[in-house]
Amino acid sequence: LSVVYWMRMGDLRISDNRALAQASAQAAKDGVPLIVLFVISPQDYLAHDRSKRRIDFTLRNLILMKASLDLLNIPLYTVSHTPRCTLPGRVISLLQSFSCTRLFANFEYELDELRRDREVCRLANELGIKPMFVHDRCIIEPGVVTTKEGKPYTVYSPFQRSWISILNANVPRFIEEAPPPSANPHSVRDNPIFGPLFSTAVPLIVEGFQLGEEDQTTMLSLWPEGTQAAKDILSRFLHTKSRAIQLGAADPLALGAEHSEKRSRINAYNDSRDRGDRDTTSRLSPYLSAGVISVRGCVRATMRLLGTQKVNAGRDSGVGRWVQELAWRDFYSNVLVYFPRVSMGRPFQEKMANIKWEVDEAHLSAWKEGRTGVPIVDAAMRQVNTMGWMHNRMRMIVAMFLCKDLMLDWRLGERYFMEQLIDGDLASNNGGWQWSASTGVDPAPYFRLFNPYTQSAKADPTGDYIRCFVPELKSLRGPEIHNPSAKVADKLGYPRPIVEHAAVRERALRRYKNPGQE
Ligand code: FAD
């Protein structure tokens, strides 16, 4: 007999993992071994536009975890399965082959995954295997923070106010650390069924998702795998000062000169988080998306920093502001659960479904490749293309530019982001895109169009961000870097803007005001 913990792409850690902790406690109680199962599903990755970088990051983390679990005599068994429609049956037959009595897993809130898990539960129950699904991804699980009438919030601010009061009324329930798993007896290694699982390896690649050599080296140095690496990154954010971006460095964001700012990154976060020319944010998103670090652990770290028993999510401090960002993550998971249409390519605001989009491959390619002739947009797109990550303000700028200046369908951008990002996450990515396209919950009002040039001056006042990612412009100093003249652009071999902001602004206003019309 055995207890199985089914690990998924979003919970790649051993510590503070609720389903794993509960599975371990159950195995100890029943006196049976704990087995960890991971199913690679290439068809799901394809269907959900998973980036090669995210898949590579998953495998790297699995390899590290296999070694750690091995020390606890817990086998991590990784299998690859296609087609995805038969995945529930495959999981069940694996459970049967392990004589599993109890199955534990953390919820995945995406629609396909919920449907898949419902089927697994149905099949498991038929066979007398007890399934148990646990909330682990969010600080407060979807469904708890609702209006007085029990309805979901569709505006962030009241959600956040309710979120913080519920959280602070129940601090232990929401952020207590889940205990680490206990070791299986050594004898599990001699078991004819479980023993061989120890010698199975985590595959080094998933077919169709291999990273190029150069990209792999870059990802390895920028985003080291493992919970310890994530904790080090969190600690850097909590305790050290931001650095200037540095041209040509392996990690351009972290190796420049330390800023004269007296406060640590988190304490300065309130004032500096929108700056792209300095390493001002935590850069934990790849680790939070993959669950390599626990979001509860991040909240606990802010409480330790402040020496408080309550969580601070106030707007007036860096720490509070950062916790608010974590609340955005919960907010978008709620939206996904309550309004699954957003994950089916539908706008949240149904009336926006008829907006007339341009079809222009040349513009789309220029945007993707960072050749639009708008320096801040090009710098940001080149950042995501090389680093697999982009600063939040830049994500907003390039998203707004795609939907409003180029008038290209936001779903094209949403998809391209998923294909490039190492932190690609359906709920947050869709939320960010629909916010920018003014089609989502609590969106940017359609008439509040970003001017990319003024945004550029605010987000990159030194111009270092642009100089770092757009080397053609590295000789430029002063305000000219944000909007070089045609003469300068031609001389430096940099493209002229593919659209004129003032002109296309009117087109966007017209089409948003009257969806369906030219
Ligand atoms: P920090 O500023 O240090 O914030 C800490 C954490 O809070 C982040 O790691 C993230 O988990 C969460 N967070 C911060 N801002 C947001 C937000 N606006 N929405 C949801 N969660 C947030 N985030 C992703 O994790 N995956 C995505 O695929 C993704 N796509 C986006 C697409 C667009 C168009 C936009 C506008 C935003 C997107 N975001 C996404 C949100 C945000 O840009 C990133 O989470 C953030 O830039 C990550 O950097 P950081 O870890 O340094 O963030």
Q: How far apart are CA 227 and CA 177, in angstroms?
A: 15
Per DSSP (E only), the strands in 26-145 are: 34-40, 76-80, 100-106, 130-134
pTM for this model (two decimals):
0.97
- Concatenating the DSSP letter of every residue in 392-414 gives HHHHHHHHHIIIIIS-B-HHHHH
Domains by residue range for the chain, with CATH: 1-136 (3.40.50.620), 138-175+227-338 (1.25.40.80), 342-513 (1.10.579.10)
Q: How far apart are CA 25 and CA 18, in angstroms?
A: 11
> Above 80 in pLDDT, residue 260?
no
From the list 357, 385, 419, 472, the catalytic residue is: 357
How close is the Cα of 77 to the center of ligand 1, in Å?
Answer: 31
Sheet containing strand 100-106, edge to edge, reads: 76-80, 34-40, 2-7, 100-106, 130-134
Confidence of residue 336 (pLDDT cuts 50, 70, 90): very high
Q: What is the token pair recorded at 478?
A: 């002063």
Confidence of residue 249 (pLDDT cuts 50, 70, 90): low
CA dihedral 9, 13, 14, 15 (to 10 degrees): -140
Instruction: Give the pLDDT score at 253.
Output: 64
Average pLDDT over residues 209-224: 94
Nearest CA to ligand 1 atom 50: 283
- 514 a catalytic residue: no
How close is the Cα of 323 to the center of ligand 1, in Å?
Answer: 12
Confidence of residue 255 (pLDDT cuts 50, 70, 90): low
User: Identity (one letter) of the amino acid at 190?
Assistant: D
Those residues with Cβ within 8 angstroms of residue 340's Cβ, 6 or more apart along the chain or in another chain: 111
Cβ pair 24, 64 in contact under 8 A = no
What ipTM was assigned to the predicted interfaces of this complex? 0.99
How close is the Cα of 247 to the center of ligand 1, in Å?
Answer: 24
